[in-house]
């Protein structure tokens, strides 16, 4: 390993997918893994194989399909977890087992292990993992709240037992940059054998410092960053891949490290992860937020027109954002649409392109100008809704205005058969949702309902995201349309379709990850 290379370990499909409601389908996980592989991610943490049959199947399939990336699975500190993890990752050209245990006083107390007992457990489990696989990562969970002397002791044990990467997780987003660097320096100085392995940094964002903490760890000698696309992850999320990669690129003068990431793929991955996880990207999010390259104030606009570097530290095209915006209209043909989508990072199969083309024509009829963002919303919508759907919206009319009650009249296809109903509600969206509830009764609770305009103008498409919860199962749905009520209803139906699939696959409560981090 050359000293200036930083290995990128993406855990969108494991730590990211653990965020409540971000659960992805099997196909979506395969798609994201393949995009990460193409983008040049060195290691993909594909899941937690013991957690469920679904996780096991996804890690196995991702391992079989990966072309370049190392495929890693997570395992707690017991033989059963490690064996199951190996069974899934062993199909990869380059497999890795990642095993962990909580080493801080708070985490030692839960399995009720004293320091010596925990040290023995680490020795046994890392040795076991290393007997199966010659690429083993070990993590002392909650490392940043672990006593420094004990941290040095357990890291030394893991190295002696054969760990090839030692990850230092800031599990609760508690550290700050100087401390993050100090911990890595301490381990490099005090632990025998530390120069033979790679140190990784894994930071959560509870205090908004995950990216800074990860980069500080790298400056101190860590050579692997664990991160997720869009910073997806439990609570406030993880270090965002796009932030650390672009920071090392833009500030190469003070962070002289390189990664193997093709940064022009960042924007496409960000959009796709946002779509499949149902977590919209905040407008002012660094690098991939909608406003990241927008200049509103007169002074900024003036500066940018004279010299773009006055207010931009990177070029939009560096992350795959195309500059050419207004391009498509109702006279554009299929070949032009294919070329435009390719430029935006979407390589569609012929049947998908046909469907998108039909919808593009309908949109171009309704909307004067079809912007890049309109096309992206359309394709994302198509990709989200292209599987067989038990519930489908066939027709919707609403009556709304200042005089209530608002009414909706709907034809819903349920398993391919027409069902007609009308209902009233407190507003047109409520009336439309009531129609769906009457035709398909369920107990799911609406947790989130969000509407975003894709572009400017009153004829802009709306993208709607909804999140539903039923007996601990959390699902999200999304849809886009120039009619906000139609988009809302389709997003609601999309979430219900996902719930139906989830009901078939999981017992109530599984989304809450019934597998405890401390159990067997």
Least distance CB 373 / ligand KIV (angstroms): 33
Strand spans (E) along 2-113: 7-10, 43-47, 70-76, 95-102
Per the document, the length of the chain is 520
If the CB atoms of residues 125 and 489 are measured against ligand KIV, the closer one turns out to be 125
Query: Percentages helix, strand, coil for the chain, rounded to the nearest 5?
Result: 45, 20, 35
How far is it, in rounded angstroms, from Cα 474 to Cα 309? 44
How far is it, in rounded angstroms, from Cα 40 to Cα 26? 22
Residue with structure tokens 């033979």?
196
Per-residue tokens: 3: 């000293």
Helix pair 115-132, 148-161: axis angle to 10 deg: 30
Q: Which of 84, 145, 202, 513 binds ligand KIV (CB under 6 A)?
A: 202
Least distance CB 226 / ligand KIV (angstroms): 8
Per CB under 6 A, does 205 bind ligand KIV?
Answer: no
How far is it, in rounded angstroms, from Cα 378 to Cα 479? 9
> Which of ligand KIV, Zn ion, none does residue 139 bind (CB under 5 to 8 Å by kind)?
ligand KIV
Chain positions 7 to 46 lying near Zn ion, rule: CB under 5 A, are 15
Q: Which of 125, 144, 171, 239 binds ligand KIV (CB under 6 A)?
A: 171
Residue with structure tokens 């969108």?
12
How far is it, in rounded angstroms, from Cα 244 to Cα 41? 13
Is 238 annotated to bind ligand? yes
Number of residues that bind Zn ion (CB under 5 A): 1
Nearest to 355 by CA among 334, 331, 326: 334
DSSP alpha helix (H) spans, 40-144: 53-65, 79-89, 105-109, 115-132
C-beta neighbour count of 158 within 10 angstroms: 31
Paired residues of 42 in beta bridges? none
> Which of Zn ion, ligand KIV, none does residue 371 bind (CB under 5 to 8 Å by kind)?
none
Q: What is the dihedral of CA 46, 47, 49, 53, to 10 degrees?
A: -100
From residue 8 to residue 37, what is the string marking binding to ligand KIV with x (rule CB under 6 A)? -------x----------------------
Query: First and final CA of the chain: distance in angstroms?
Result: 35
Per CB under 6 A, does 141 bind ligand KIV?
Answer: yes
Paired residues of 479 in beta bridges? 464
Least distance CB 233 / ligand KIV (angstroms): 8
Least distance CB 143 / ligand KIV (angstroms): 8
If the CB atoms of residues 92 and 200 are measured against ligand KIV, the closer one turns out to be 200
If the CB atoms of residues 12 and 497 are measured against ligand KIV, the closer one turns out to be 12
Query: Would you say 411 and 395 are in contact if contact means Cβ atoms under 8 Å apart?
Result: yes
Paired residues of 76 in beta bridges? 100
Chain positions 335 to 394 lying near ligand KIV, rule: CB under 6 A, are none
| Burial class of 195 by CB neighbour count within 10 A (0 to 12, 13 to 18, 19+) | exposed
Is 452 annotated to bind ligand? no
Per CB under 6 A, does 169 bind ligand KIV?
Answer: yes
Least distance CB 202 / Zn ion (angstroms): 6
Least distance CB 311 / ligand KIV (angstroms): 36
Is 202 annotated to bind ligand? yes
> Which of Zn ion, ligand KIV, none does residue 463 bind (CB under 5 to 8 Å by kind)?
none
Is 204 annotated to bind ligand? yes
> Which of ligand KIV, Zn ion, none does residue 100 bind (CB under 5 to 8 Å by kind)?
ligand KIV
Question: Closest residue (Cβ) to Zn ion?
Answer: 15
| Burial class of 183 by CB neighbour count within 10 A (0 to 12, 13 to 18, 19+) | buried
If the CB atoms of residues 202 and 367 are measured against ligand KIV, the closer one turns out to be 202
Number of residues that bind ligand KIV (CB under 6 A): 8
If the CB atoms of residues 338 and 518 are measured against ligand KIV, the closer one turns out to be 518
Binding site for Zn ion (CB under 5 A): 15
Which residues make up each annotated binding site for Mn(2+)? 15, 202, 204, 238
Which residues make up each annotated binding site? 15, 202, 204, 238
Binding site for ligand KIV (CB under 6 A): 15, 100, 139, 141, 169, 171, 202, 204
């Amino acid at each position: 390993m050359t000293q200036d290379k930083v290995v990128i370990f993406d855990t969108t499909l494991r730590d990211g997918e653990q965020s409540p409601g971000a659960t992805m389908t099997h196909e979506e996980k395969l798609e994201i893994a393949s995009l990460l592989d193409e983008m040049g991610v060195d290691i993909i943490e594909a899941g937690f194989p013991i957690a469920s049959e679904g996780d096991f199947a996804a890690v196995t399939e991702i391992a079989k399909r990966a072309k370049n990336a190392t495929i890693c699975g997570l395992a707690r500190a017991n033989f059963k977890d490690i064996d199951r993890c190996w069974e899934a990752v062993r199909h990869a050209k380059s497999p890795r087992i990642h095993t962990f245990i909580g080493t801080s006083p708070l985490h030692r107390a839960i399995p009720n292990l004293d320091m010596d007992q925990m040290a023995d457990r680490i020795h046994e489990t890392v040795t076991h993992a290393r007997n199966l696989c010659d690429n083993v990562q070990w993590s002392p969970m909650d490392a940043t709240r672990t006593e420094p002397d004990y941290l040095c002791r357990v890291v030394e044990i893991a190295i002696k037992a054969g760990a090839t990467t030692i990850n230092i997780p800031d599990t609760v987003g508690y550290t700050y940059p100087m401390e993050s660097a100090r911990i890595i320096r301490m381990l490099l100085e005090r632990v025998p054998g530390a120069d033979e392995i790679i140190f990784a940094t894994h930071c959560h964002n509870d205090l908004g410092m995950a990216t800074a903490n990860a980069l500080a760890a790298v400056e101190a000698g860590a050579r692997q960053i664990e991160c997720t696309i869009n910073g997806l992850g439990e609570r406030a999320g993880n270090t965002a891949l796009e932030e650390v990669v672009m920071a090392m690129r833009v500030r190469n003068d003070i962070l002289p490290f390189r990664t193997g990431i093709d940064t022009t793929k960042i924007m496409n991955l960000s959009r796709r992860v946002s779509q499949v996880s149902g977590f919209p990207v905040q407008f002012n999010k660094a690098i991939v937020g909608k406003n990241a390259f927008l200049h509103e104030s007169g002074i900024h606009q003036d500066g940018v027109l004279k010299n773009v570097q006055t207010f931009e530290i990177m070029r939009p095209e560096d992350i795959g954002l195309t500059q050419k915006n207004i391009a498509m209209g109702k006279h554009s043909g299929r070949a032009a649409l294919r070329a435009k989508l390719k430029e935006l990072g979407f390589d569609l199969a012929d049947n998908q392109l046909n469907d998108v083309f039909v919808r593009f024509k309908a949109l171009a009829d309704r909307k004067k100008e079809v912007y890049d963002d309109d096309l992206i919303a359309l394709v994302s919508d198509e990709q989200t809704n292209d599987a067989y759907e038990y519930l489908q919206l066939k027709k919707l009319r609403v009556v709304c205005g200042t005089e209530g009650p608002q009414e909706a009249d709907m034809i819903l296809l349920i398993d391919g058969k027409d069902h007609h109903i009308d209902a009233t509600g407190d507003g047109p969206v409520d009336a439309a949702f009531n129609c769906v509830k009457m035709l398909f009764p369920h107990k799911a609770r609406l947790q989130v309902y969000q509407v975003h305009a894709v572009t400017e103008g009153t004829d802009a498409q709306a993208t709607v995201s909804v999140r539903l919860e039923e007996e601990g199962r959390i699902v999200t749905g999304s849809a886009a349309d120039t009619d906000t009520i139609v988009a809302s209803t389709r997003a609601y139906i999309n979430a219900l379709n996902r719930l139906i699939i989830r009901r078939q696959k999981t017992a109530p409560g599984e989304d809450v990850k019934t597998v405890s981090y401390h159990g067997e």
